[in-house]
Amino acid sequence: MLAVEGLQASYGAAQVLYGMDLTVGAGEMVTMIGRNGMGKTTTIKALMGLLPPKAGVITLNGASIAGWTPHRIARLGIGLVPEGRQVFSRLSVEENLIATAANRHDAGHPWTLQEVYRQFPRLKERRSQSASTLSGGEQQMLAIGRALMTNPLLLILDEATEGLAPLIRAEIWSCLAGLKANGQAILVVDKNLTALARLADRHYVIEKGRVAWSGTSAALIAERRAIEQRIGV
Ligand SMILES: Nc1ncnc2c1ncn2[C@@H]1O[C@H](COP(=O)(O)OP(=O)(O)O)[C@@H](O)[C@H]1O
Ligand SMILES: [Mg+2]
Q: Are the C-beta atoms of 30 and 201 separated by less than 8 Å?
A: yes
Domains for the chain: give ranges and CATH numbers.
1-75+192-233 (3.40.50.300)
Tell me the chain's radius of gyration from C-alpha atoms: 17
**What's the pLDDT band for 107 if we cut at 50, 70, 90?**
low
Would the pLDDT of 103 be above 80? no
11 CB near ligand 1 (under 6 Å): yes
**The pLDDT value given to residue 7:** 98
Instruction: Write down the pLDDT at residue 49.
Output: 96
- pLDDT range class, residue 105, cuts 50, 70, 90: low
Q: What pLDDT does residue 85 have?
A: 87
> Residue 131 pLDDT more than 70?
yes
Ligand 1 center to 223 CA (angstroms): 27
CA of 122 to the centre of ligand 1 (A): 33
CB 143 within 8 A of CB 87: yes
Point out the least confidently predicted range of 50-59, 74-83, 102-111, 181-190.
102-111
Q: Determine the distance separating the centroid of ligand 2 and the alpha carbon of 37, expressed in angstroms.
A: 7
Q: Which atom of ligand 1 is nearest to the CA of 39?
A: 17
Q: Is residue 140 within 6 Å of ligand 1 at its C-beta?
A: no
The model's pTM is: 0.96
CA 72 to chain centre: 18
Q: Is 16 in the pocket of ligand 1 (CB under 6 A)?
A: yes
Decide if 202 contacts 182 (C-beta within 8 A).
no
Region 116-120: what's the mean pLDDT? Answer: 95
Average confidence score pLDDT of the chain = 95
Q: Probe ligand 1: pick from 18, 20, 33, 42, max atoms within 8 Å of CB?
A: 42
Sheet containing 78-81: order of strands: 78-81, 154-158, 185-189, 29-33, 202-207, 210-216
